[in-house]
């Protein structure tokens, strides 16, 4: 992939060198386009050595190759990190007074900006207006992180970590998985933009049902697939509410994170986020049962003698959140509903047999099935999934692939359904 990495003049420019390394080590061809101010923080030799390409800031260098037009035209992805308040303002108003702003005007690929500045600058109405204008035009502007800034200041305005920007950029650039795009799918650029302005709700992680102050019933879900789904959706322009159950992963940039523990808490959080949602993706591993009675003191084991008994734990069913969402939605403002089936084969059938039965039973618009178990899927960075739809017996298999790639394919399917006349996804 041909990447243009724009760097503007902020102290966080040193982090862009780490971001550049991530792109080049992943095999991407990167041209760095710094501003004159950026070179005050990190010099031209560093960018040239790490990228393997000459570095220029003005439109007069190598003018015979027309770089101010060619770089933008030939790029598959443009990332600006850090994007200062000045750069955001110039980009929003279409200025073309250096090489980087010319590239931004000529680029027809995905464009991502990662702002970094002091809190007062980020929250200023002028900056907020510029960001809103860029997003309206299809530029993917990440929200900055909150933390230590230059000097003693702390607050929103910190550049997200290079790994976060890299993951979000790949999620944005990722088109339909080769050989798996549904028939009639839109071109890649169109598919990437179809989530812009949409509100999606994603669940992730595994719920825990407490037995006593120490113990709980739970599962092995790490939340990686749900967080990848949220990251890709945010990179494609969606407003994302991520309901996370007991995951230790950091919140993806630009995502509203709601943390829960139990199935009942997850159900309440999803219901609260549901009004106006265009799609709900239930990727969390939800406990089917919970203890009938919670013990407010630790359950003790017996000691000595011949008593080796263990307590009997009575369980009750948790609500079926997915089936409830399907049953409750109305015809006019229904979100599209995607279910997940974490299955293991048994004597009655394989993973796909159980997944088809679940799709029919739940009535959702898409079902994503994966085989799970010890050292399979849960906690892994790669997986294999099978995507099922109720209107066809065909099954689309994605993988083995990273969970970001799998997420990109799932959102391709969702985008196709959202733009179809199916009477769903009309929540906005």
| Residue 236: both structure tokens together | 């494609």
Is residue 404 classed exposed, middle or buried when 0-12, 13-18 and 19+ CB atoms within 10 A define those classes? buried
Q: Which residue from 321, 173, 278, 320 is spatially nearest to 235, judged by alpha carbons?
A: 173
Helix (H/G/I), strand (E/B), else coil: 255? strand
Site of tokens 């939340």: 223
Compute the distance between CA of residue 167 and CA of residue 201 in angstroms, rounded to an integer.
Answer: 20
Q: β-strand 29-34 against 2-7: which pairing, if any?
A: parallel
CA dihedral 363, 394, 414, 251 (to 10 degrees): 90
**Are the beta carbons of 217 and 208 closer than 8 angstroms?**
yes
Q: What's the gap between Cα 400 and its chain centre?
A: 19
Pairwise CA distance, residues 59 & 68, whole Å = 6
Is the CB of residue 225 less than 8 Å from the CB of residue 407? yes
The residues near 27 (Cβ < 8 Å, ≥ 6 apart) are none
Strand 315-317 with 216-217, pairing: unpaired
> Which residue reads 């929200």 in tokens?
143
Q: Is residue 219 among the annotated active site residues?
A: yes
Rounded CA-CA distance 220/241 in Å is 23
- Tokens linked to 368: 């994503």
Choice among 102, 130, 193, 219 that is catalytic: 219
**Could you tell me if 258 and 185 are in contact, meaning their C-beta atoms sit under 8 angstroms apart?**
no
Six-digit token pair at 210? Answer: 């407490």
Residue located via tokens 């048994």: 346
DSSP labels for 71-91? Answer: HHHH-SEEEEEEE-HHHHHHH
Q: Which two tokens stand for residue 299?
A: 């359950």
Identify the helix (H) or strand (E) that includes residue 403. helix 403-419
What residues act catalytically? 219
């Amino acid at each position: 992939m041909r990447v243009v990495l724009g760097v503007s003049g902020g102290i966080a420019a040193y982090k862009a060198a780490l971001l550049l390394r991530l792109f080049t080590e992943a095999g991407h061809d990167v041209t760095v386009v710094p501003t004159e101010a950026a070179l005050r923080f990190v010099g031209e030799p560093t960018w040239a050595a790490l990228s393997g390409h000459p570095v220029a800031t003005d439109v007069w260098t190598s003018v015979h190759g027309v770089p101010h037009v060619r770089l933008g035209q030939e790029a598959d992805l443009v990332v600006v990190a850090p994007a200062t308040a000045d750069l955001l303002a110039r980009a929003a108003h279409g200025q073309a007074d250096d090489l980087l702003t010319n590239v931004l005007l000529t680029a027809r690929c995905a464009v991502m900006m990662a702002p970094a500045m002091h809190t007062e600058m980020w929250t200023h109405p002028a900056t907020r207006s510029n960001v809103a204008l860029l997003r309206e035009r299809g530029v993917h502007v990440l929200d900055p992180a909150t933390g230590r800034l230059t000097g003693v200041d702390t607050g929103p305005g910190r550049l997200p970590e290079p790994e976060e920007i890299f993951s979000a950029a790949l999620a944005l650039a990722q088109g339909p998985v080769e050989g798996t795009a549904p028939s009639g799918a839109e071109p890649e650029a169109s598919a990437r933009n179809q989530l812009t302005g949409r509100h999606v709700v994603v669940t992730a992680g595994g719920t825990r049902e407490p037995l006593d102050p120490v113990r709980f019933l739970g599962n092995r879900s790490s939340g990686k697939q749900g967080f990848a789904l949220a990251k890709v959706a945010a990179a494609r322009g969606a407003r994302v509410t991520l309901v996370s159950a007991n995951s230790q992963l950091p919140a993806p940039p630009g995502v509203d994170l709601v943390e829960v523990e139990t199935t009942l808490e997850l159900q309440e959080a999803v219901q609260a986020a549901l009004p106006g949602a265009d799609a709900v993706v239930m990727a969390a591993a939800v406990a089917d049962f919970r203890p009938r009675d919670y013990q407010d003191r630790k359950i003790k084991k017996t000691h000595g003698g011949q008593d080796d008994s263990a307590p009997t734990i009575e369980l009750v069913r948790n609500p079926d959140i997915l089936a409830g969402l399907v049953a409750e939605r109305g015809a006019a403002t229904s979100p599209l509903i995607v279910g997940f089936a974490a299955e293991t084969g048994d004597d009655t059938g394989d993973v796909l047999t159980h997944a088809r039965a679940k799709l029919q039973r739940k009535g959702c618009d898409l079902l994503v099935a994966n085989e799970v178990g010890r050292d399979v899927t849960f906690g892994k960075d790669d997986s294999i999934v099978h995507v099922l739809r109720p209107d066809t017996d065909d099954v689309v298999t994605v993988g083995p692939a990273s969970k970001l790639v799998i997420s990109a394919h799932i959102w391709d399917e969702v985008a196709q359904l959202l733009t179809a006349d199916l009477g769903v996804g009309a929540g906005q």
